[in-house]
Amino acid sequence: MTTPTNSRSGALAPIAFVSQHDGSRWIEVLAQAMPYERIVDDNALSDAEALLVEIAIVADPSPERMARYLHLKWIHSVWAGIERLVPLAAARQLPLVRLVDPALANTMAEAVLAWTLYIHRDMPAYAAQQRERMWRPRNYVPAGEITVGILGLGELGRAAAARLVAAGYRVTGWSHSAKAIRAVETFTGATGLHTVLATADIVVVLLPLTSDTHHVLNAERIVVMREGASVINFARGAVVDTDALLRALDADKLSHAVLDVFEAEPLPTNSALWNHPKITVLPHISAPTNRDSAAIIVASNVTRFRATGELPALVRVERGY
């Protein structure tokens, strides 16, 4: 394999790893997957070296740090969520690649099934009964009598739908564009969203955060949901209007919400969500990225680009995903 060099200087071109978090473990696994590349922490690169960088691998980077890379050709995110990168990519007309990892999709599908079962099998109610020292079996409802509606049928949504179907649930799904998924009734458009919300016992939110999906689950849409339905939000906090959700829970319109994502993270200690009896708070753990599998995917994309100039599938910045 030919050693990659920078087209302007002829020197070995570093790849910047840019993150607001400790990137040492990421850099280690990326370097193992790409021993022919120099993966360098953004903070260790001088301004002169930053001018040589053509590829940035990022994990929730700050816009200020990205601004120093004036000669970027493309950005590869190792996070599935890329909403904070979209404005940068659009403004600079930079190709943006998000992580599409079957291992991540499998982890998310596992989490969706686990927390669907948590709600379906009345775990919140049994936990409340335990606190009251109350011995009271609840009626069992077969999975086939439960409808789970998935909002968002991308890679993660499709994997979750397949896992739920295999577990015996009735599954419906809604997405921006039409999708065909085996054993899943799919919908699109405003009427389709209304249908999914009105017929689901459990609504699972897996939509990317865009200007169109901000507070897509708001008071107006919660009104059409079934009495006693539940919500699982594994997307982004701002996809759900939290105030509207709280009002619906307090009014017994909805029975429970499992929230793994929030508009402010970590969730502030003074948030009312922590102690709400109808809310399960999770610390953004539904689908952690598998660094080892992600590094192999990133290495494959970088290698192909170095050899052929071909870019992986790109984020459609005009849509935000």
Annotated active-site positions, please? 236, 265, 284
* C-alpha–C-alpha distance, residues 259 and 68, integer Å: 36
* C-alpha–C-alpha distance, residues 150 and 204, integer Å: 5
* C-alpha–C-alpha distance, residues 188 and 197, integer Å: 12
140 contacts 128 by C-beta, under 8 angstroms: no
64 contacts 78 by C-beta, under 8 angstroms: no
* C-alpha–C-alpha distance, residues 19 and 309, integer Å: 25
Nearest to 47 by CA among 67, 22, 73, 21: 67
Residue 54 one-letter amino acid: E
* C-alpha–C-alpha distance, residues 169 and 120, integer Å: 10
